[in-house]
Structure formats: C-alpha cells, structure tokens
Amino acid sequence: MQFTLQANAPGTDARAGLIQTDHGLIETPIFMPVGTVGAIKAVHIREMKQEVKAQIILGNTYHLYLRPGLETLRAAGGLHKFNGWDGPILTDSGGFQVFSLSDNRKLTEEGAHFRSHIDGSKHLFTPENVVDIQRIIGSDIMMALDECPPGQSSRQYAAKSLDLTMRWLKRGWNHFRETEPLYGHSQTFFPIVQGCTFPDLRRRAASEVAELGAEGNAIGGLAVGEPTEVMYEMIEVVNEILPADRPRYLMGVGTPANILEAIDRGVDMMDCVMPTRNGRNGMLFTDHGIMNMRNKKWANDFSPIQEDGAAEVDRLYSKAYLRHLFMAQEILAMQIASIHNLAFYLSLVRQAREHILAGDFAQWKAWKVQEVTRRL
C-alpha cells in the first residue's frame, strides 16, 4: 500500500491524499461503507459502484469467521471472489464485536475467549490467529486485535486495557511480518491507538504505534459513550503524534458532522453503520438536513427525495412515495434509504476533498456542519 499526501487545508489539519492498493486507488478523505457479513445491508455490489460510488468497503473478521467460515472463504479464494467486490476491502479484527459481547467473553494474556452469538460455541481470538483469519479473508487492510474499553472507563481500567492491547499489538505485528498473503495481492496491517479518554494514555499509545512504522494507523475506542467534544479532543491528541505521511483511520464514526470535524482534525478514513442502520429506520441524511421519512409532513410531498442528491434514487422517487413504503413496511423503503444515505456520505467526503484541494475547506466546513445538522 502506498499513501501520497496531496494537499493540506489552510487553517485546519484537513488533508487530501491517495491510497494505492492492489485492488485500486482510494481518494482521501474517504468514508467506507460497512459490510459486516460480506454484504452492505440491502445494497447490491452494482449499486455500491454505480450509485454509492464507494471506493473501499469493510468486512468484519468476527462475523465472517463464524459465518460463512474460513473453509468456505478459502475455497472461494477470499472475500473479493466470494462477494463480487473487486475494489479494496478493510477488515476489522473483531475486537469491537468481542467487546460488545461483554457477557459472553473473557480477556486473557493469550487472547479473547468468547461464545458465538449464533450458537453459543466457544472460540478464541489471539493476536496471531486474527492475522491468519484476515489472510484467509484476503482483505487489503487488516486490523490488529485490541480491546475497546467503554467510553466512561476508569483510568485504572483504561491503563490496564491499554497495556494488554499494546502487548497484543506487538505479537500481531510480528506475526503479520512473518506470514504471507494467500491470493497474490498484498495486504497491510494497521495498529490501533486506544487509551480511552485519557490524553496521556492516548499519547503513549500513539507514540508506540508510530514507532512500528506501519503503512497506516487507526484510532479506536471513540464514539463508545464519551461526550462528542472529548472524542474530538482525543483525535487531536493522537494526530499530533501519528505520522503525517501515513493514512489515519478513525474507527466507527459517525454522523455527517462527526465526519467533517474528524476530517478537520487530520483524519483520512472513516466508517460507520449509521447511514444504513438509520436509513433502514427511516432517517435520511441530506446536504440540507435530516429527514424522518415516517413523519406525516411528507405524506403529500411529491418532490424528489433530494433533487440535487448524489444517487439516481434521489430523483426517481418522491418523499411521499418513500414515506408510503416505510409506513407499509415495504422492503424497498430500506433499500432506497440505504442507497441514498451511503451516496450522501460518499458525496460529503468528495465535497470535503474538493474544498481541501481548492484551499477553502475551513470556510466551507463551518457552513456545511450547520446545513447537515438541521432537522427538516
């Protein structure tokens, strides 16, 4: 993987760049749609390319390991061959999913012991075998195994958790360097900076991560219960230390405003389930504000969903029709809303990139945050 920094926005830490992978070029800043089990919920691969205009998607190690399983993925030739997506793929290590199974997991020096949410069977993720699993999945970018502590963790818990994460990181990093890809394309490994909401822990983690010299680095453990302003502060603390010549990936964030604020602070890559999850529940994000499509106010509004929207569905269907589909519990409603929201998110980061390159990102972002946070 190769990262080229193209421009910095005056008055901010926002930057535009290019990430070259064996499966294609990624223009940053970029939003990455989440395909947990190898599919973006309710959206075809064709639509991901033509309407959403996604450049990279995510898969999840925990879910893919459990279903369809490693034997099937290896036989298919990896996730690219299995799901038909020929662009870059990033896989999470499964650490966050194990964290969310707090009643069914146990963390030890060896790794994360957990029970499957599907059938209750026992499993173990170690720093080494999550590398092996991601080799079998065949992702272009793989993540280190970490513990994601709750946002309101005590300092004592956060410090102990970080110590374990950093010991796991060194083991995973060494194993990655001792193993080879399986399908003829290169893979890269991103360490994850943890440390909860404590600046000194975040600085220590970022320094140790930076010393590894990985091709990219991630910021984890945010948007998990801490106040938004604290999240922004932690991003600033970490990005002061993470190398500027490597992409920075903020994991699991967030709203359109969160994304713009993260870009402002030097983040290059982001992902979140929000556009699809909220879309399936009738919430649409647009360039002009947020719409709840179940509201009666849309019942006789026959104007397009968003006339200047990024996707064809924005002009093909009216607000009234989409509301009708939601009220009738028609599956098509979830598909239209998911495509719209994903296309909007990708359009938003494209706009941010254009304004970074043009040199007026700071002015544009201040106005845009107000626009995208309005309730329509």
pTM of the predicted structure, to 2 decimals: 0.97
The phi-psi region of residue 301 (left if phi > 0; otherwise alpha if psi is between -120 and 50; otherwise beta) is: beta
Residue 141, beta-bridge partner list? 90, 188
User: Residue 102: its pLDDT value, please?
Assistant: 67
- In this prediction, residues 190-200 reach a mean pLDDT of 97
Residue among 140, 268, 271, 314 flagged as catalytic: 271
User: Residue 96: its pLDDT value, please?
Assistant: 76
Whether 163 is catalytic: no
User: Residue 94: its pLDDT value, please?
Assistant: 83
4 confidence band (pLDDT: 50, 70, 90) = very high
- In this prediction, residues 199-217 reach a mean pLDDT of 98
User: Residue 215: its pLDDT value, please?
Assistant: 98
User: Residue 131: its pLDDT value, please?
Assistant: 98
Q: What are the CA-CA distances from residue 59 to residues 28, 49, 200, 210, 236 (Å)?
A: 19, 16, 32, 25, 27
Whether 92 is catalytic: yes
Q: What letters, b where the CB count within 10 A reaches 16 and e where it falls short, cover 58-73? A: bbbbbbbbbebeeeeb
The identity of residue 249, as a single letter, is Y
Q: What are the CA-CA distances from residue 257 to residues 28, 241, 303 (Å)?
A: 17, 24, 26
| Per-chain mean pLDDT for the chain | 96
pLDDT in tens, 168-188: 999 999 999 999 999 999 999
Task: Give the whole-number percent of the chain exceeding pLDDT 70.
Answer: 99
pLDDT > 70? residue 189: yes
pLDDT in tens, 67-87: 999 999 999 999 999 999 999
- In this prediction, residues 85-98 reach a mean pLDDT of 90
User: Residue 222: its pLDDT value, please?
Assistant: 93
pLDDT in tens, 239-275: 999 999 999 999 999 999 999 999 999 999 999 999 9
User: Residue 317: its pLDDT value, please?
Assistant: 98
Residue among 92, 146, 264, 268 flagged as catalytic: 92
User: Residue 103: its pLDDT value, please?
Assistant: 72
pLDDT > 90? residue 164: yes
Do residues 253 and 272 lie in contact, with contact meaning Cβ atoms separated by under 8 Å? yes
The identity of residue 369, as a single letter, is V
Read off φ and ψ for residue 65, nearest 5 degrees: -60, -40
What is the rounded CA–CA span in Å between residue 235 and residue 240?
A: 9
Q: What letters, b where the CB count within 10 A reaches 16 and e where it falls short, cover 332-362? A: ebbbbbbbbbbbbbbbbbbbbbebbeeeebe
pLDDT > 70? residue 200: yes
User: Residue 279: its pLDDT value, please?
Assistant: 98
Could you tell me the sign of the dihedral formed by the alpha carbons of 157, 247, 356, 25, in that order?
negative
Nearest Cα neighbor of 14 from 285, 366, 344, 309 is 366
User: Residue 225: its pLDDT value, please?
Assistant: 85
pLDDT in tens, 7-32: 999 999 999 999 999 999 999 999 99
pLDDT > 90? residue 105: no
pLDDT > 80? residue 97: no
β-strands 112-115, 122-125: how paired?
A: antiparallel
- In this prediction, residues 347-361 reach a mean pLDDT of 98
Lowest model confidence (mean pLDDT) among 45-54, 99-108, 297-306: 99-108
